[in-house]
Amino acid sequence: MASQNPAEEENSKQNWSLQDFEIGKPLGRGKFGRVYVAREVKSNFVVALKIIFKEQIDKYKIHHQLRREMEIQTSLRHPNILRLYGWFHDTDRVFLILEYAHKGEVYKEMRKKGHFTEKQAATYILSLTKALTYCHEKHVIHRDIKPENLLLDHEGRLKIGDFGWSVQSKSKRHTMCGTLDYLAPEMVENKAHDYAVDNWTLGILCYEFLFGAPPFEAESQADTFKRIMKVDLSFPSNPSVSLDAKSLISRLLVKDSLRRLSLQKIMEHPWIVKNADFSGICL
Ligand code: AMP
């Protein structure tokens, strides 16, 4: 039993309850709930248990969003996507049984270091590109990739953690969503958008990983919007970053979504080839 994890059991056991888990230390707090490390009693398997109060679900009318997050995340199996093993609920709460990301948020690590080395940034960008390739093949557009949604496992492997804003779609989408600094121009303008929004976000993240702040940051939301629409991109001289990295960023932050570098081309880009650890492990 000790080697079994809830994922392997999911076909045989659908009816989880709180009694199946021993709750450990709190891992964090999100907008809609709290996350704790927990151990599945029978298997000893360690997971993260996300607890969302039904009151909050009602208050923010997130029934559909949560259901969509759960359905999408359960269906995805990729080393760089956090597994959702299952869920259950009691009268007041919904519990999500998630893969435990031992090293926590990429965002915290970035804040601690100021910015990442090219090797570390390239490894994270490659891991994200592989995960997004897999998502796009399954017709899932993530739309809310940002450092707070990226977690690290015990080996430092990047995991996309939150599918709250993702959509499963074969056609172009119209709804406005995502976080301001990471929005692609077509989303700022509320135009139809497709998979290429995630490619834009990879450019934003690559910049942020290397320089420590997103490229279109401004005092007000209106100014950020303007900077995104103009693609007002400049590279600070400190920290010094290679021309190869800047070339990749410039090929992703392109207003015309059809001209953005494809995910396949990102993986073949010289900066990735020279710097990334293809195992995805980054200590
Ligand atoms: P969330 O509600 O998803 O925003 O989660 C709140 C915080 O809990 C996050 O910012 C992480 O620091 C932490 N957290 C969430 N999920 C996990 C996980 N699977 N493993 C480790 N920490 C997590």
Is 144 a known active-site residue? yes
Which pLDDT belongs to residue 164?
58
One digit per residue, the tens of pLDDT, for the chain of length 283 reads 333 455 454 444 578 999 999 999 999 987 778 999 999 999 999 999 999 999 988 888 888 888 888 888 899 999 999 999 999 999 999 999 999 999 999 999 999 999 999 999 999 999 999 999 999 899 887 767 877 789 999 999 999 987 655 555 444 544 544 468 888 898 877 776 678 888 999 999 999 999 999 999 999 888 999 999 999 999 999 889 999 999 999 999 999 999 999 999 999 999 999 999 988 887 6
Please identify, by atom number, the ligand 1 atom nearest to the C-alpha of residue 98: 19
- From CA 37, how far away is CA 101, in angstroms rounded? 9
* Residue 221 CA: distances (Å) to CA of 147, 213, 218: 19, 15, 7
Name the CATH architecture for the domain at 16-99: 2-Layer Sandwich (3.30)
- Could you give the residue range(s) of every CATH 3.30.200.20 domain in the chain? 16-99
Give distance in angstroms: CA of 164 to centre of ligand 1.
13
**Which part of the chain has CATH 1.10.510.10?**
104-275
Domain 104-275 homologous superfamily, CATH: Transferase(Phosphotransferase) domain 1 (1.10.510.10)
pTM: 0.89
Q: Which atom of ligand 1 is nearest to 47's Cα?
A: 19
Residue nearest to atom 3 of ligand 1 (CA): 30
CA 188 / ligand 1 centre spacing (Å): 27
Cα gap 109→259, rounded to integer Å = 32
**Is-contact 174 165, C-beta < 8 A?**
no
**Residue 30 in contact with ligand 1 by CB distance below 6 A:** yes
Check the CA dihedral 231-184-34-128 and report its sign: negative
Cα of 27 vs centre of ligand 1, distance in Å, is: 6
In this predicted structure, what is the pLDDT of residue 282?
A: 75
Catalytic pick among 20, 144, 153, 181: 144
Backbone region of residue 166 per phi and psi (left: phi > 0; alpha: psi in -120 to 50; beta: other values)? beta
